[in-house]
Structure 1
Amino acid sequence: MYYAILAYHAEGVVESWTEEEDAALMAELLAVNDRLVGEKSLGPAARLGPTQRAVTLRGKGDGMITDGPFAETKEELLGFYVVDFPTLEAAVAAARDLRRANPTAVYEIRPILLYLPGAPLESRAAD
């Protein structure tokens, strides 16, 4: 079964890390990532940009664009992993490994009811 492991953190804390602190954390997370890839349990994973650069589309018809998400929360969704494990307990174990690498983050593990992998993307980032 596919599960989403959603990583939450206070953006202010993440943004306060030095480049070295962030690189060290990412090295630990990538070690877990590489192990899960080797076990053929990890699908797509993404680290999301700051909410200050996000927009939200809501409303009827074409909808209306507003700046950023406006959830009343102390933590923002900073990234996610898609994993494939036979049980919720196994997915929780993978999230615990991620938490050992990033102990100040919060991880939500949620079953995925529909998984469409889509096509591989090439970056079209603006210069």
Structure 2
Amino acid sequence: MAQYLALTYTADVDWWAPEQASELAEYRQFALDHAGSVKASAVLHPTPTATVVRVEGARGGKVVTTDGPYAETKEALTGYYLIEAEDLEAAIAVAAQIPAAWNGAVEVRPVILAR
């Protein structure tokens, strides 16, 4: 079976805030409903907690970090699911059930497994 990473893009919120409880419950239900396909998942902290890392002058160069997200956007990368599916079509069918597909977006990419 192939693996696909389903990246969720939604409003950039604190998913642990009380006002997000009902929506977070929908994500938890999705994970329970698709436990056979979902191999891993995570919710990311809001983008202001991000640190962008760049290396100037290529490998071995000066490491430069910047606090916060790289760019301002309406929707942010807020989490992921690692889905195991027969093919891309099957992975898309699972991804369409992720709540982010209803109020944001879900990007599905094949995973290249290390050998």
TM-score tier by shorter-chain length is 0.7 to 0.9
Deviation at 1:65, TM superposition (A): 1.0
Indicate the SS of the match to 2:34. Answer: helix
| Match in the other structure for 1:9 | 10
Q: 35, 44, 48: which one pairs with 1:48?
A: 44
Q: Does 1:105 align with 2:104?
A: yes
| Match in the other structure for 1:68 | 68
Structure having the larger proportion of residues in helix: 1
Q: Return the alpha-carbon distance in structure 1 between the equivalents of residues 62 and 3 of structure 2.
A: 32
Aligned structure 1 segments of 4 or more residues deviating by more than 2 angstroms:
71-74
Q: Return the alpha-carbon distance in structure 1 between the equivalents of residues 52 and 8 of structure 2.
A: 20
Q: Aligned partner of 2:110: which letter?
A: P
TM-score (norm 2): 0.81
1:17-36 to 2 correspondences below 5 Å? 19=18, 21-36=19-34
TM-score (norm 1): 0.74
Mark the runs of 5 or more structure 2 residues left unpaired by the alignment: none
Q: Return the alpha-carbon distance in structure 2 between the equivalents of residues 104 and 115 of structure 1.
A: 33
Deviations 1:18-72 (A, max 9, x none): 72x41111112111101211x2x11110000011111111023251111122135
Indicate the SS of the match to 2:102. Answer: coil
Deviation at 1:103, TM superposition (A): 1.9
Q: Return the alpha-carbon distance in structure 2 between the equivalents of residues 29 and 102 of structure 1.
A: 11
Total equivalences in the alignment: 109
Mark the runs of 5 or more structure 1 residues left unpaired by the alignment: 117-127
Q: CA RMSD in A?
A: 2.3
